[in-house]
C-alpha cells in the first residue's frame, strides 16, 4: 500500500467520523429529552416509546459509525476472507451426490 492510498484512506475516515459524532450527540440529547419527558409524565406510555425508538436508533447508529468508520471496506474484507476459506475447504459429499443423481432425482434423507 503506497503513501497516497494511505493518506486518502485516512481522509475518508476523518470525513466519515464527523457525521458519526454529531449523530451520537444528537441521539444522546434525544435520549435525555425522552427520559425527562417520560419521568415528568408529560406524555403517555405509547408516546414515550414512540420517542425512545428513533432516539435509540440514532444513538446506536452514531456509535456504530464511530466504531466501524468504513463498514463497506470491512464487509468487502470479510467477504474476501470467506471466499478464500471456502476455496481451501473440501467440497461436501452431498454436492457430489447431487451431481451423480441429478437434481430431479435428489431426495432428502432423514
> Rounded to whole angstroms, how far apart are CA atoms 5 and 84?
24
The fraction of the chain above a pLDDT of 90, given in percent, is: 33
Tell me what pLDDT residue 33 has: 95
Cell of 110: 432423514
Q: Tell whether the model's pLDDT for residue 97 goes beyond 70.
A: no
Tell me what pLDDT residue 1 has: 46
Q: How many residues does the chain have?
A: 110
Nearest CA-CA partner of 94 in 106, 110, 86: 106
Q: Tell whether the model's pLDDT for residue 45 goes beyond 70.
A: yes
**What average pLDDT score do residues 72-92 get?**
82
Q: Tell whether the model's pLDDT for residue 57 goes beyond 70.
A: yes
**What average pLDDT score do residues 62-88 get?**
84
> Rounded to whole angstroms, how far apart are CA atoms 61 and 73?
17
**What average pLDDT score do residues 15-23 get?**
78
Which residues make Cβ contacts (< 8 Å) with residue 61, sequence separation at least 6? 23, 27
Tell me what pLDDT residue 72 has: 78
Nearest CA-CA partner of 62 in 52, 73, 54, 51: 54
Tell me what pLDDT residue 13 has: 56
The angle that helices 3-39 and 45-67 make with each other, rounded to 10 degrees, is: 160
Amino acid at each position: 500500500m503506497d503513501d497516497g492510498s494511505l493518506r486518502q484512506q485516512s481522509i475518508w475516515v476523518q470525513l466519515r467520523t464527523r457525521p458519526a459524532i454529531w449523530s451520537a450527540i444528537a441521539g444522546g440529547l434525544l435520549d435525555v429529552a425522552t427520559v425527562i419527558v417520560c419521568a415528568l409524565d408529560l406524555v403517555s406510555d405509547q408516546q414515550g416509546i414512540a420517542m425512545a425508538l428513533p432516539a435509540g436508533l440514532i444513538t446506536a447508529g452514531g456509535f456504530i459509525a464511530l466504531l466501524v468508520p468504513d463498514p463497506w471496506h470491512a464487509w468487502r474484507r470479510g467477504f474476501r476472507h470467506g471466499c478464500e476459506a471456502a476455496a481451501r475447504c473440501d467440497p461436501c459429499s452431498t454436492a457430489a451426490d447431487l451431481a451423480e443423481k441429478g437434481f430431479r432425482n435428489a431426495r432428502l434423507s432423514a
